[in-house]
Amino acid sequence: MSSVHVEALKKTYGAVHALDGLDMEVAPGTIFGFLGPNGAGKTTTLRILTGLARATSGVAQVAGLDVLKDPGKLSHHIGHLPEEPAFYGWMTPRDFLDYLGRLYGLSSSERLSRTRELLALVGMEDASKRRIAGFSRGMRQRLGVAAALIHHPEVLSLDEPASALDPSGRKEVLDLIGNLRGQCTVLMSTHILADVERVCDVVGIIAKGRMLVQSGREALLERYAIPAFEVEADDQAALSGWAEDLRRLPWVISIAPRNGAFRITVRDVQSAKQALLRLAVNSGVVLNRYEEVRPSLEDVFLQLVGSEGLA
């Protein structure tokens, strides 16, 4: 049985269609990356699946429960971390987790053992007696994950868990999410493609309230792979002139600048391999780097979202 099943889900606000017939299926134990541009409907979907909002129509089931008919039963089966979690700043992490355990009806011994376990999981044992008010954003996010897990939920919902963090904080939170693989089903909403590519098993790309594609990460990259090469040179003027010459060749689809280099997307890999280096030498371009590149989620995302006219 799926941990999450969504079918023809709709949510309207007057004339605005936040969700427009969304379909979605998530297997147990999966880290599911819910990817889309701002305003695509990601947060609306998570709010419905966690019982924080009501759908206009459709089917939504989480952990075998009908979200639309009986959202009140969800609380013991799902944990949720909003984009900006709120805490009582005067509390310590130990106090806060114990408080949440009481709300969920955990016994004194359960609260004690679960609090210790979660503080170790999120790497906050040394900060367990500090006031939350003095925590960094990354520490708050990690504590928020611990809070969402206090009652052993079957499904964990994370709304943009690393979007506002610095590189160090992002790494800490993403490593934590990756360590949850197999312990519960994780729904992670984000617009940061690199985060999804790093930790998610399955990717769902949403735009304008519709699921454009849902697939395993590697299968998705393979399915939408377009052969491409990246070249880099110190002489940017010479490289740019050579790139303009390449645009006229029938086997070149596009050439785009990327971090001081050029990405050359091609129709025919063999033609590119046979000709690119020779053409560079003939044009007097000295390449520092020449590489056949693997497609990224960014490439797939731009293909799908761009093809729908949604970028």
- Per-residue model confidence (pLDDT) at position 226: 77
Same CATH topology for 4-221 and 226-293? no
CB 221 within 8 A of CB 200: no
With cut-offs at 50, 70 and 90, classify the pLDDT of residue 111: very high
Tell me the C-alpha distance between 10 and 19, whole Å.
5
What pTM was computed for the model?
0.79
Q: Give the pLDDT score at 130.
A: 96
DSSP classification of residue 240: H
Residue 311 has pLDDT above 80, yes or no: no
Helix (H, G, I), strand (E, B) or coil at 62: strand
The predicted pLDDT at position 308 comes to: 47
Under CATH, which architecture does the 4-221 domain have?
3-Layer(aba) Sandwich (3.40)
**Tokens read off for 95:** 């106090």
Backbone angles phi, psi at 75, to 5 degrees: -55, -30
Q: Record the tokens describing residue 254, joined without a space.
A: 């596009």
Phi (first) and psi of residue 135, to 5 degrees:
-80, 150
- Mean pLDDT along residues 101-125: 95
- Each residue of 54-98: pLDDT tens digit? 999 999 999 999 998 887 888 889 999 998 889 999 999 999 999
What is the average per-residue pLDDT within 109-127?
94
User: What interhelical angle do 236-246 and 269-282 show, nearest 10?
Assistant: 130
Q: What's domain 226-293's architecture?
A: 2-Layer Sandwich (3.30)
Name the residue with higher pLDDT: 79 or 308.
Answer: 79
- Rounded percentage of the chain residues whose pLDDT exceeds 70: 98
List pLDDT tens digits, range 228-278. Answer: 899 999 988 888 899 889 999 999 988 988 777 898 988 888 999 999 999
Residue 309 has pLDDT above 50, yes or no: no
- Would you state the pLDDT for residue 103? 94
Percent of the chain with pLDDT over 90: 60
pLDDT at 196: 87
Which structure tokens are listed for 261?
């280099």
Domain ranges of the chain: 4-221, 226-293
**Could you read off the pLDDT of 12-45 as tens digits, one per residue?**
998 889 999 999 999 999 999 988 888 889 999 9
Dist. CA 204–CA 135, nearest whole Å: 33
What pLDDT shows up at residue 306? 66
Q: What is the pLDDT of residue 296?
A: 73
